[in-house]
Chains A and B, each alone.
Chain A
């Protein structure tokens, strides 16, 4: 009696979740796969009665499309540059935070602040910091080079056009790296500091008794014992990096590039959404699947590398 009553009760409680998941999670998996393998699929056309051949044309088109390779390049550069930098910085900050007592809570709060910001809104702030504010038409020179350039000039460097008309791809990427690292730090610091605080203090006492120098404690004890957390932030960092999109919108706007070269900094996700908005769902699906496979491969590769070094 009780058993059967529990049966229908369980399904009743689960029904809203299951219904929604079927429509918005399960169906999309199949449908996206289907669309990806229907040559040139477009939803509007499909509703208009058009039929599509089964094939791999979408994938070929995606790979053939030169802008897709640019997207892949930008995405990969951003990943490879930001993940190690932000992880290393976060580790140093977490270790330093863990070693102090006064001000620890305050500093911890400050380091978490970028997390509770809107990445598009603060992207706009970063844009103004790198921005050359205005040209003086008479002297044909910039009025204000922006605060970052002023700092560079203060230290005797040459100002650079970071995101304006005529800026170089390298300069654009550097701006993105700075912003993404700034944005990625809080999450990594939080996870790593949590990990540090859960390490048994006796290992540090033991290291002290053994006369271990600070640098050696870090490399031989802290990092190995923290390796599961490090692995976690590195893997999630790569996954997040391959899905980078809105931070670029924050700085460059929806043009995804400096004014004279729109789309220069487009990423994989940006590519997928562009295709989607142009009613080329087949292409978008193929792009999304390729992204999925890349993420999967990178994660598997990471896992393999990490497994050798991680102590659980």
Chain B
């Protein structure tokens, strides 16, 4: 092989110029594409907010305005009372907090048992739990609807909370996390006479905190977005969840509805999740990418 190269004959200056132009075009193209996509993503939010601030006649104008002529903050208070949002918020918050708290306790205890304790049938049991993850939730819903009915839990918070307290996936996630903590720490704690609960609280929970925070956020988001199950078992006023209440209060998406008020309600319902997201961006994105749950 010789050093005669295929690229020896070249006009270095021309190449240098060309590659600079390509680079500028490439970067401009990339940013243009991203910004256009970002605008498309953001547009519904923008439309929601400006629509929520318009009067109904302005909203219906043939030539739409891109900023309300008259800012109608009143739409928000009207939305709040029409959909009884205060009540819905409290219901949802109650269900979210109680189920997250109870779910965390159950998950931590189970994950600890699977990660640290030795008992007969551990592996088969864990395998069986994982196998249930493959079955779509709709299959469980049918029987659970009957079960809840027979237990007399219809139209109660219990029906909204209890059936979803155990998530095999969260147990799995936390167990993996716990297993990374060296077993020697546990044995040392045993030698020192530390109780399991104290060890869990002082060593394992702090080390697994990011996972626990992710679980908390996903669980709260689940409560906020749940629609089907609450509709089936607790669609009465006293127990209604936010999504159901919103959908019920504004049944018409076409025709003669009061759209600005509807949009105001949607904005109010969307705001808490947005705020939580902006504060805990890192945990949420980490949690979602690790868990891979499409919720």
Contacts and interface: CB of A to CB of B under 8 A. Distances in A.
Interface of A: 3, 6-7, 9-11, 13-14, 16-17, 20-21, 23-29, 31-32, 35, 43, 89, 92-93, 96-97, 99-100, 103, 107, 109-122, 124-129, 131-134, 143-145, 147, 150, 163-165, 182, 184-185, 187, 190-191, 194, 214, 232, 236, 239-240, 243, 245-246, 249-254, 258-259, 269, 272-273, 276-277, 281, 284-285, 288-289, 291-292, 295
A147 B46 CA distance: 12
26 contacts: A3-B118, A7-B118, A10-B113, A16-B165, A17-B110, A17-B166, A20-B162, A23-B147, A24-B144, A25-B132, A27-B147, A28-B142, A29-B140, A120-B227, A120-B243, A125-B47, A129-B44, A134-B256, A144-B64, A185-B41, A187-B288, A214-B26, A258-B254, A269-B228, A288-B136, A288-B141
Interface residues of B, number: 93
A202 to B, nearest CB: 21
A281 B285 contact: no
Nearest to A118: B225
A111 B253 CA distance: 26
B263 to A, nearest CB: 7
Interface in B254-294: 254-256, 259, 262-263, 266, 269-270, 273-274, 276-277, 281, 284-285, 288-289, 292, 294
Interface of B: 26-27, 30-31, 33-34, 37-38, 40-42, 44-45, 47-48, 51, 59-64, 105-107, 109-110, 112-114, 117-120, 122, 125, 129, 132, 135-136, 138-147, 149, 162-166, 168, 171, 196, 221, 224-225, 227-228, 232, 242-243, 246-247, 250-256, 259, 262-263, 266, 269-270, 273-274, 276-277, 281, 284-285, 288-289, 292, 294
Given A32-B143, A131-B254, 16 more contacts: A10-B113, A10-B119, A10-B122, A23-B147, A24-B147, A24-B166, A93-B34, A111-B38, A115-B288, A118-B243, A121-B269, A125-B47, A243-B138, A253-B247, A276-B145, A292-B136
